[in-house]
Structure 1
Amino acid sequence: MDWLARMNRALDYIEMNLCGEIELSEVAKQACCSSYQFQRMFSFITNVSLSEYIRRRRLTLAAIDLQNSDEKVIDIAMRYGYESPVSFARAFQLLHGVNPAIARQEGTALKAYPRLSFLISIKGAEAMNYRIETKESFEVFGMERVFHTNGSDGELKTPAEFWQQSHANGEVERLAGNAGDLPGNVSVDLHKVHALCSYRKTEKDTFPYMLCAFKSESSKTHGYTTITIPAYTWAVFSSDPFTWDQFNETIDTMYQRFFSEWLPTAGYEQIDGMEFEIYGAKDNLNYLELWFAVRRIN
């Protein structure tokens, strides 16, 4: 399938560049998606981050080189992206449990992480609750941050930290108060504040994230960023009711099943990684909808 071919093409690029520079933007290009989108798909499907996978592959090959050559440790370290024997030895010890010198001794037990390949797995799993909807253009407004895909830049490194800070300083509650009435085509069970991701182009290896509200005639938008969402087809996935202590497990499972079970087989592809997290409550329990902008694959 085309989705599988693109994902495996990205893994081919990684494998061919383990001894050099791996550009995340080029990895994503091979998969025909954004850097952020690819890294999210990869981690949800494999249960390991892309950076950790690359680190494991490089240290697996480094161990093979140590056992099968007389090259200096510094030369092997530099081949796999480590600038000093100290940093290489630290990473090697963390993964393999021994230092590089010991790895050269016969009989030393080491770890090997093979190259991954994406395949379709028939699981016979429980049903997924989803619907396909085409929506006209609409507007949202709220507080925006731009994050780096590796979480290294800025005071806030992840959207989760953005949520925590905005709850702590009262910005979430202020946004809810300024949201006004919900638009007529929106369920009355929804909360006022939601989340929007990857809705515009930003600098290389970054993605935009917004805590947002649906804009209506009674909304007070002064001081906020307003975004127009074009008319799209959306794949909308609904959770079962849950309590807040079940939130992390619920949302992680929904994303994992979307990327690993639905997207590879449904005949759709995601558009630029755009997605909403829509929150609501009914009968004293919470529910969650994930909206993914999609288009049918010809």
Structure 2
Amino acid sequence: MIGMLNALIDLVESESGDDLDVSRFAREHGSTEYHLRRMFAALAGMPLSEYVRRRRMTLAAADLVAGAPTVLDVAVRHGYSSAEAFGRAFRAVHGISPVDARRDGGPLRTQTTLRFRLSVEGSIPMDVTITPTSELVLVGHAARVPLIHEGVNPHIQAHIAAIPPDEHARLKRLSDAVPAGILAITGDIAPDAPEGTELTYLHGVSVRPGTPVPDGLDSMRVEAGAWAVFAASGPFPETLQRLWAATATEWFPSNPWRLRPGPSIVRYLEFTGTHASCELWLAVESA
């Protein structure tokens, strides 16, 4: 995985504009675009699309300062069909226009070339079980909320708080499939979506495909397949967020599994508000 990501970085440096075919690159390296984008975002701390944009604007700025004949020449060289579109992208990264950069030389924001290195530290003990399941139907109460990487998500808190207590009890009674009990389910999001992107959060349970579902509940269907189930216990939400990061930095690079499209599921075994014992379920397939 580390070698594949570094080869992807090399491809970003050599390609321009729309020539970067991530899907083909992933296939040629025995992976999938979904898994590759998820791992890149987790390890780089930014989506692949954002890194590509920053690098191209870094190189474009260097061309402008070096005395390129026109802004349009630089725009075309870096994959833009118009000076206007290039100017918007350039200003979003550098905070100034290409004309100002060409005239004044800056100030400019530089994105250095990334290099991935694997450091095998085993800093977080990881209890993992590979669990196959048949098709899942996840039912409950859904809301659209923004993605927040660190700390408690207040939008999810507000959504859960608005669900009446007797509805929690009804959902528990409805649960008849693994993972059992009340679940925190996130889905409907791009594999490398930046923070702030809207996703679907479902507070619900897992049921068998044939189980009658009461009216008024939202649902997600998930294909049959394997799940990597990571167990963790500690302060909430820090422990869960560190576990998320460790799956990318420690577990996936050293195990023959990759992520497949599907929601992520958190099953709380014990929750006091400041401390949680939980399971993180990630949909996986053999690499």
Give the root-mean-square deviation of aligned CA atoms: 4.2
Counterpart-to-counterpart distance in 2, 1:177 and 1:111: 53
| Residue in 2 that maps onto 1:236 | 229
**Match for residue 15 of structure 2?**
17
What residue number does 2:127 align with? 130
Deviations 1:3-60 (A, max 9, x none): 234333433443333333545645655662244x433322211112222211111111
In the other structure, the counterpart of 1:227 is 221
Structure 1 residues 158, 209: CA separation in 2 closer, same or farther (over 3 Å shift)? Answer: same
Cα distance in 2 for partners of 1:23, 1:44 equals 20
Counterpart position of 1:141: 138
Correspondences of 1:45-124 after superposition (within 5 Å): 45-82=43-80, 85=83, 88-89=86-87, 91-96=89-94, 98-104=96-102, 110-122=108-120, 124=121
Summarize the Cα distance change of 1:46–1:166 in structure 2 as closer, same or farther, 3 Å threshold. Answer: same
- Supply the distance in 1 between the matched residues of 2:70 and 2:146 (Cα, whole angstroms): 39
The range that moved more, 272-281 or 90-99, is: 90-99
Q: Which runs of structure 2 are paired with 1:254-273 in the superposition (5 Å)?
A: 254-265=243-254, 267-273=255-261
Q: Secondary structure at the match of 1:241?
A: strand
Greater alpha carbon shift after TM alignment, 270-279 vs 68-77: 270-279
Report how many residues are paired: 266
Give a deviation string over 1:67-108, Cα, whole Å, max 9, x none.
Answer: 334321123134435565455445435534554344346875
Distance (whole Å) between structure 1 residues aligned to residue 59 and residue 39 of structure 2: 25
CA 39–271 in structure 1, closer or farther in 2 if over 3 Å, else same: closer
Gaps in structure 2 of 5+ consecutive residues? 189-198
Q: Which runs of 5+ in 1 are unaligned?
A: 146-154, 199-207
**2:65–2:101 Cα contact (<8 Å) kept:** yes
Partner of 1:33 in structure 2? 32
Taking only the aligned residue pairs, the percentage that are identical comes to 24
Deviates more, 1:19-28 or 1:272-281: 19-28
Structure 2 CA distance for aligned equivalents of residues 219 and 268 of structure 1 = 34
**SS, match of residue 221 in structure 1:** coil
Instruction: Describe the shift of the 1:219–1:120 C-alpha distance in structure 2 as closer, same or farther (beyond 3 A).
Output: same
Does 2:40 align with 1:42? yes
Could you tell me whether the CA contact under 8 Å between 1:277 and 1:290 is conserved in 2? Answer: yes
For normalisation by structure 1, the TM-score amounts to: 0.67
